[in-house]
Amino acid sequence: MNQAGSQQVAQAAIRELPAPVAAQIAAGEVIERPAAVLKELLENALDAGANRIEVELNEAGRQRIAVHDDGNGIPPEQLRLAVGRHATSKLRTVDDLSQLTTYGFRGEALPAIAAAAGRLTVTTRARSQPAAALIEYECGRLVREQTGARAPGTSVEVWDLFQGQPARRAFLAKPRAERQALVRVASDVALAEPQRALRLTIDGRTPLAHEPAAGGSTGAHDLEALRGALASVFRAGVAERALAFSAEHSGMGLDGWCGSPEDVRRQRDGIRLFVNGRPVHDRRLAYAVQEAYRDWLPSGGFPIAVVRLRVPPASVDVNVHPAKTEVKLRQPELAFSLVQRTIRSALAESRRRTPLRLASDALEFAEDAGSTQPLLRVRPQGVSALPPANAVAEASPGQLVELAPEHRSLPSLRTIGQMHRTFIVAEGPDGLLLVDQHAAHERVLYERLLSQSSEPQARQPLIQPITLELDAAEAANWNVAAARLESLGFELDPFGERALILRSLPKALDSAAAEQLLRGILRDAGDRTAEPARFDPVTASAACHGSVRRGSVLDSVAMSALLRDLERCENPHSCPRGRPTLVEIAAEDLLRRFRRK
Ligand code: ADP
Ligand code: MG
């Protein structure tokens, strides 16, 4: 892999691993989903020194996964062995495990895939061979061998994954989650190997097409090549604004790109980590990246960052996880602090940009000037019709009570002020209410969007249509959300594979934030977190991204307007995703705490 990968072109013979070697290799449940198949096939293509890889997927990989490469190919006499158990050309002895320079080493991917697939074909031509060889398996059984023609390289096609395993098939993630995982695998390859061309097509659309820049000797460790991959996987703008970093410390090397704070995301998936060129998931290292951004990102925001760590092969164990997506570092603390310090100082150096720091530790009360009412009003004796009856009666004094989200209307509320740039403090007939401004606004927009979506006049055309360049994940999600977005009042035209033109928005949403809003919705469409029943995720996402954020200062007019809107909602007590919009402190409890009762 890396430079070693492209040089590892001299074809070593494939042989069966001696039993003890096979035994020392973690027996892995390697093939648990289409994304895992794709990962193995891509790694094989990279190990074969391919410079151009094409991936075609149908039905989120369930129907077909095809990977074509222009690598070494497999000599015809070794083809059967390659699909046999624990056959690898990359590892001979256990000692080799600590000196690995290839992605694959266990020799178990092809046999496992052959067994899991309804049909597997491998068509391959080694450079020295005049013709190509084809081998075909059905549910793990060899059914065909023949010769044919093709350019040097290998094509592996996997049809009907888990066909004979209905239980497996039933446990597969929803197609959109699977698509997300497939895009993730392919984009990790583009980032790990930016000097190789990679093209990904899913059901005829191409969410990822990475071409290395022409000319120049772009080695794997060339930061400019990586910047090109950043543009392919995320967006050109992200790559333009990103900051390069690199550092060296006690035998460890670090480099990469960290995204500008303005390219903040709501998900962690913009943090991409590579250890010795291998994409890995490592909570601690991801956290180190997040920590580096602490002063620059709002809470709940995540950065984009591509981080490449190089350590001597002997100081990392890559054989701790069946899919090789986790590694064990000898000195994790060292890596952690190197990552954090390096990225932090890269960010600090570029103070040209306005820091986005939010004062989250200061309590703020925006005075409601027009009011002379007392803070609390005791409920008049005898009036007991209003909520919250049981919840508050059972709560111990002073305890915050979250009102159960039910279909119940709100009494009319009086704005007192804002706290923490997050809560609206209000007075209701029973006591003090803290309203989460974001959740409340989400609820208001959600109901408004749902009620207006069928009316054509609910659209607000943009005077200047906005062109949105999409990243690979957003492009893959576009199909999923398209129809619903249109019925809500978004008018969107695809523009090539990776861009959209936004012509109008639902009236209920603020046009100033149109781009950010739409991106948020597209990203959410790929989110596979469970959602409550009878819930419209696209509408909820539109409401969420269109609403005021935590951290926004609201004046008393805005707060009162929001409370009026919330009072009119059908279900004012929770946001569309079920979080509470308000908590109440009963006046009775306050009186008890002040020993007035
Ligand atoms: P591993 O990658 O762990 O060696 P695999 O089962 O994935 O095991 O592959 C078995 C062998 O088949 C590899 O060692 C390699 O020699 C050969 N092979 C697989 N895919 C390709 C490919 N795309 N191009 C060239 N050789 C390949
Ligand atoms: Mg392999």
Ligand 1 atom, smallest distance to 109 CA: 6
Q: How sure is the predictor about 85, in pLDDT bands with cuts at 50, 70 and 90?
A: low
Q: Best-predicted range by mean pLDDT among 28-37, 86-95, 266-275?
A: 266-275
Ligand 1 atom, smallest distance to 110 CA: 6
Residue 242, class by beta-carbon neighbours within 10 Å (0-12 exposed, 13-18 middle, 19+ buried)?
buried
Inter-CA distances, 334 with 250, 253, 276, 460, Å: 9, 11, 16, 53
Ligand nearest to C-alpha 110:
1
pLDDT at residue 404, rounded to an integer: 36
Residue nearest to ligand 1 atom 13, measured at CA: 88
- The answer to whether 165 touches 118, Cβ cutoff 8 Å, is no
Q: Which of 31, 110, 157 for mutating ligand 1's site (highest number of atoms within 8 Å of CB)?
A: 110
Counting residues of the chain whose pLDDT is more than 90, the rounded percentage is: 34
Q: Does residue 263's CB lie within 6 angstroms of at least one atom of ligand 1?
A: no
Q: Does residue 44's CB lie within 6 angstroms of at least one atom of ligand 1?
A: yes
pLDDT at residue 195, rounded to an integer: 94
CA of 90 to the centre of ligand 1 (A): 8
Q: Does residue 107's CB lie within 6 angstroms of at least one atom of ligand 1?
A: yes
Torsion sign, CA atoms 319, 320, 326, 328? negative
As a whole number, mean pLDDT of residues 159-183 equals: 84
Q: Note if the bond before 312 is cis, omega within 30 degrees.
A: no
Q: Does residue 233's CB lie within 6 angstroms of at least one atom of ligand 1?
A: no
pLDDT at residue 4, rounded to an integer: 43
Query: Residue 578: how many CA atoms within 13 Å on its side-chain side?
Result: 8
As a whole number, mean pLDDT of residues 534-562 equals: 80
Region of 534 (left: φ > 0; alpha: ψ -120 to 50; beta: rest) is: left
Q: Which of 1, 44, 79, 158 for mutating ligand 1's site (highest number of atoms within 8 Å of CB)?
A: 44
Residue nearest to ligand 1 atom 17, measured at CA: 82
Beta strands in 27-102 (DSSP E): 52-58, 64-69, 87-88
pLDDT at residue 376, rounded to an integer: 25
Tell which residue, 516, 525, 515, 544, has the closest CA to residue 477.
525
Tell which residue, 551, 519, 567, has the closest CA to residue 235.
519
Q: Which of 88, 90, 124 for mutating ligand 1's site (highest number of atoms within 8 Å of CB)?
A: 88
Q: CA-CA distance, 472 to 232, in Å (whole number)?
A: 8
Inter-CA distances, 147 with 132, 133, 273, 460, Å: 6, 4, 41, 61
303 vs 102 pLDDT, higher one: 303
Q: Does residue 109's CB lie within 6 angstroms of at least one atom of ligand 1?
A: yes
Q: CA-CA distance, 86 to 101, in Å (whole number)?
A: 18
State yes or no: pLDDT of 27 exceeds 50: no
Q: Does residue 74's CB lie within 6 angstroms of at least one atom of ligand 1?
A: yes
State yes or no: pLDDT of 262 exceeds 60: yes
pLDDT at residue 543, rounded to an integer: 81
Q: Does residue 40's CB lie within 6 angstroms of at least one atom of ligand 1?
A: yes
Q: 3-class SS at 472?
A: helix
Ligand nearest to C-alpha 156:
1
Residue nearest to ligand 1 atom 18, measured at CA: 44
Structure-token pair, residue 133: 């060889």
Tell which residue, 399, 405, 474, 473, has the closest CA to residue 431.
399
What pTM, to 2 d.p., does this model score? 0.62
Ligand 1 atom, smallest distance to 102 CA: 2
Q: How sure is the predictor about 396, in pLDDT bands with cuts at 50, 70 and 90?
A: very low
Q: Does residue 69's CB lie within 6 angstroms of at least one atom of ligand 1?
A: yes
Ligand 1 atom, smallest distance to 87 CA: 10
pLDDT at residue 484, rounded to an integer: 77
Question: pLDDT digit string (tens) for 490-502?
Answer: 888 888 888 999 9
Quote the distance between the C-alpha of residue 189 and its chain's center. 16
Beta-ladder partners of 310: 253
Q: 3-class SS at 416?
A: strand
State yes or no: pLDDT of 536 exceeds 80: no
State yes or no: pLDDT of 390 exceeds 60: no
Q: How sure is the predictor about 134, in pLDDT bands with cuts at 50, 70 and 90?
A: very high
pLDDT at residue 225, rounded to an integer: 93
